[in-house]
Structure 1
Amino acid sequence: MPSFDIVSEIDMAEVKNAIDNANRELDTRFDFRGVKASFSFVKDVAKLTAEHDSQLRQLADMLRVHLIKRGVDARAMDLESPSSSGKTWTQTVKFKEGVDQPTSKKLVKLIKDNKMKVQVAIQGEQLRVTGKKRDDLQAVMTLVKGTELEQGFQFNNFRD
């Protein structure tokens, strides 16, 4: 029986490249001349630093643009609330990987509500979709791509 897995993965090397590109753009931007602003990336967490909270929003938008250019889904960004310590504002950005339990249940419910002729099994941080026909599986892929959930999904391990 044909099957595939629904996963949510991020290439951290591409995230690091996007942060490096954003740092290079930051050096050339006129509105950030003379401002202490930077991006850093340590242990799969990005840290944005600026002198004002409005500049943090600009930095987050800049990072989002560079992530999209590098092929990383920008919905995977999890922005935490900005914090201030003296003159410096910081904000950490974590990246969502894996399909968490509530999102898995939403996907299973979505597939069942559309009366697809497939079976869905939650396996940790991924979902295994099995069906009798390849066309049914492709219909599920189209359905999942069309949904607006908090993160992007990839389909791998397609077996015929």
Structure 2
Amino acid sequence: MAKDCSFDVVSEVDLQELDNAVNQTKKEIAQRYDFKGSKSAIELEGTEIKIIADNEYKLKAVIDILQSKMIKRKVSLKALTYGKVEPASGGTVRQALKIQKGIDKEKGKQIVSAVKELKLKVQAQVLEDQVRVTGKNKDDLQAVIQALKTKDFGIDLQFVNFRS
């Protein structure tokens, strides 16, 4: 009897690399001429990045710097959920960026339905913040991975725990 093979679909962020990207952004803000004398700042607090700037233009510049540092450190930009820009004290503006960790139920259901549309002999189920795909044939599982890589669910997906 053939054993079941399985893998997990997860959405995780390397928090150490994200912390490094935030620290590099702080250093660049401190050194850049266009930020001299401005109140621009960026902080990583738990699962949220808080950005404060003089105006929306500088806020966008800080976000651009952060995004470039994240790309260099191979942290997906899909890992961030952007909050709305709010006025803050002293004529500044602020924005909170939420760090996306795990797959929520709604995205999990979308992934499961995408797997079912492939009409392969595999089963997909949502387990807390991940999706487990099981099947008898390794080739079917690899076909599922390739198909999921081509679709955009709005989050960064990783495929882990491939067991045969």
User: Do the two structures share a fold, i.e. TM-score over 0.5?
Assistant: yes
Q: Is the 8 A contact 1:76 1:150 kept in 2?
A: no
Query: Which residue of 2 is the match for residue 120 of structure 1?
Result: 124
Distance 1:34 1:130 in 2: 57
Is residue 144 of structure 1 aligned with residue 148 of structure 2? yes
Distance 2:80 2:60 in 1: 13
Query: Which residue of 1 is the match for residue 101 of structure 2?
Result: 97
Distance 2:65 2:120 in 1: 40
Choose 37-46 or 93-102, whichever is displaced more: 37-46
Q: With structure 2 as the length reference, what TM-score do the two structures score?
A: 0.93
Choose 17-26 or 37-46, whichever is displaced more: 37-46
Distance 1:111 1:157 in 2: 18
For 1:129, which of 123, 133, 137 is the aligned residue? 133
Size of the alignment, in residue pairs? 160
Aligned residues: CA RMSD: 1.1
For 1:61, which of 52, 60, 64 is the aligned residue? 64
Query: Which residue of 2 is the match for residue 154 of structure 1?
Result: 158
For 1:42, which of 39, 45, 52 is the aligned residue? 45
Deviations 1:81-102, CA, capped at 9 Å, x for gaps: 0111241111111111111111
Choose 55-64 or 16-25, whichever is displaced more: 55-64
Q: Gaps spanning 5+ residues in structure 2: where?
A: none
Q: Gaps spanning 5+ residues in structure 1: where?
A: none
Distance 2:39 2:74 in 1: 28
Q: Percent identity?
A: 36
Deviations 1:112-143, CA, capped at 9 Å, x for gaps: 11212211011111111011111111111111
Deviations 1:59-111, CA, capped at 9 Å, x for gaps: 11211111111111110101100111241111111111111111111111111
